[in-house]
Amino acid sequence: MQKDYGFGFPVDISTHGYEIDRLINLVHIFMAILFIGWFVFFVYALFRFRARPGHKPATQTPHFKLPTYLEIAVALTEAMLLVVFSIPLWYHIKKDFPPKERSLEVRIVAEQFAWNIHYAGRDGVFGRTDPKLMNASNPLGLDPSDPAGRDDITTINQLHVPVGQPVIAHLTSKDVIHSFAIPVMRVKQDVIPGQSIPVWFEAKRAGNFEIACAQLCGLGHYRMRGYLIVDEKDAFDAWMDGEAAKRVA
């Protein structure tokens, strides 16, 4: 399990993670410049307008054009970050959404306080679900009478994916708003009841990592912790075969 993130970013194992990191670095540089600038002005104001013997305060407020120019520059920089960097990055990720034919599709249903993972099985067809069938032993409400669901695989807080294959995750929630976050994949998406929101990612290397809920979702929010297991293709296929065998048994 990747635990030691240090003071920098979490390790990046996503195919598009470097673009997210570049944008975050740009924002940090801008905020550092803004912070240093305001701090220098603050120190200058403390010194320039300090109380001292023989000095009388001005009765009229002087007007300078420099602050106006600086405010305009800050607004233009923020607009540039949004228009030139953020929106194109969002569009690029959406535009590159992988086709289903070469992707692994999973359903992820959040609840207080767990991540329910649903794989379609070898037939690639998700079985029918019904909220009326949901219970402790069937948290996804799979319909046992649906033939398409007989080979489906379900796990709780365990998301297995293969290296080098795009993963399309359809996110929804049973109860409240959650937030599906995989830091090493640079993925974060609100999970909203009544909606199915697709996100995609692709892992560059194998390993065990964490899934977090980035939204305060109740008193048990701290328990909303899942695990991302990125396997080599052979190991992933073996895991799928093992889970399918359990279903048959």
Q: Please report, in tens digits, the pLDDT of each residue of the chain (249 residues total).
A: 555 556 778 888 998 888 888 888 989 999 999 899 889 989 988 988 888 888 777 777 777 777 788 888 888 988 888 888 888 888 878 778 899 889 999 999 999 999 999 999 888 889 899 888 988 889 999 888 888 888 899 999 999 999 999 999 999 999 999 999 999 999 999 999 999 999 999 999 999 999 999 999 999 999 999 999 999 999 999 999 888 887 665
**The model scores a pTM over 0.75:** yes
Q: How far is CA 10 from the centre of its chain?
A: 13
Phi, psi angles (nearest 5°) of residue 8: -95, -160
Give the pair of three-digit tokens for residue 8.
């920098």
Using the Cα atoms of residue 29, residue 204, residue 153 and residue 243 in order, give the sign of their dihedral: negative
In the prediction, which pLDDT does 248 show? 60
Q: How far is CA 214 from the centre of its chain?
A: 8
**222 burial via Cβ count (<10 Å: 0-12, 13-18, 19+):** exposed
